[in-house]
Chain A
Amino acid sequence: MAESFKDKVAIIGMGCSKFGENWDMGSEDMIVDATYNALEDAGIEMKDIDAAWVGTIGFHGTGAGMTSTGITGAAISMPLKLHYKPVTHVENGCATGTDALRNAAFAVAAKVYDIVLVVGVEKLKDTGFGGLGELAIPPHPVFEGGITAPGMYALAATRYFKKYGLSPEEGKKMLAKVSVKSHYNASRNPRAHLRNVINEEQVLNAPMIAWPLGLFDCCGVTDGAAVAILCRAEDAKNFRDDYVLVKGLGLSIGPGQGSIRTDYDFTIWDETVHAAKEAYAMAGIKDPRKEIDLVECHDCFSISEVIAVESLGLCERGKAREDLEAGAWTQEGDIPVNLSGGLKAFGHPIGASGCREAFEIYQQLQGKAEDKSRRLKNPRMGLVHNQAGLPGKFMCAVGIYGLPD
Chain B
Amino acid sequence: MVGITSYGAYIPMYRMSLQTLAQTWGGFAGKGEKAVANWDEDSLTMATESSIDCLNGMDRSLVDGLYFATTTPAYREKQSASIIAKVIDLRRDITTADFTNSVRGGTSALKAAIDAVGAGSAKKFLVAAADCRIPAPDSPFERLLGDGSAALMIGDSDIAVEIEGSVSISSDFVDIWKREEDRFIQSWEERFIVTQGYLAHLEEITSILFKKYDVAPKDFTKAVFYAHDKRRHGQLAKQLGFDPKTQVQDPLLGSVGHTGSAQAMMMLVAALEEAKPGDRILFANYGDGADAFILKVTDQIEKVRNRRGIKKNLASRMELQTYGKYLHFRNLMDWGRKREPDRFGAVTMSWRDRNWVLSCHGHKCRQCGTIQFPMQRVCTWCQAKDDFDEVRLSDRKGTLFTYSMDNLATSVDKPTVIAIVNLDGGGRVSTVLTDRDPEKISPDMPVEFTFRRVHEAQGVHNYFWKCRPVRS
Contact = CB atoms under 8 A, between A and B. Distances in A.
Interface majority SS (helix, strand, loop, mixed), chain A: loop
Which residue of A127, A145, A153, A261 has the most chain B CB atoms within 10 A of its CB atom? Answer: A145
B331 interface: no
A157 interface: yes
B42 to A, nearest CB: 15
B401 interface: yes
B357 A143 contact: yes
Nearest to B403: A158
Contact of B455 (A146, A159, A208): A146
Contacts of A266: 402, 420
A129 B340 contact: yes
B39 to A, nearest CB: 13
A140 B376 CA distance: 14
A257 B376 CA distance: 12
B376 A150 contact: no
B56 interface: no
B428 interface: yes
B98 to A, nearest CB: 23
Interface residues of A, number: 47
B409 A142 contact: no
A134 B407 CA distance: 11
A210 interface: yes
Interface in B88-122: none
A155 B420 contact: yes
A157 B404 contact: yes
B416 A151 contact: yes
Nearest to B429: A259
Contacts of B411: 146
Interface string A146-178: 111011111111110010000000000000000
A146 B408 contact: no
A209 B454 contact: no
Nearest to A151: B406
Contact of B426 (A137, A157, A262): A262
Interface of B: 339-341, 343-346, 349-350, 353, 357, 372-374, 376, 380-381, 401-411, 415-416, 418, 420, 422, 426-430, 432, 438, 443-444, 454-455, 457, 462-464
10 A-B pairs with the lowest CB-CB distances in the bound complex, closest first? A151-B406, A154-B404, A259-B430, A142-B464, A211-B405, A159-B402, A129-B339, A210-B406, A148-B408, A162-B443
10 contacts: A141-B345, A142-B463, A146-B411, A146-B416, A146-B454, A152-B404, A154-B418, A158-B402, A209-B406, A210-B406
Interface of A: 127-129, 131, 133-134, 136-138, 140-148, 150-159, 162, 207-213, 255, 257-262, 264-266, 392
Given A137-B344, A262-B428, 8 more contacts: A133-B340, A141-B344, A151-B409, A153-B404, A158-B443, A162-B443, A212-B404, A260-B428
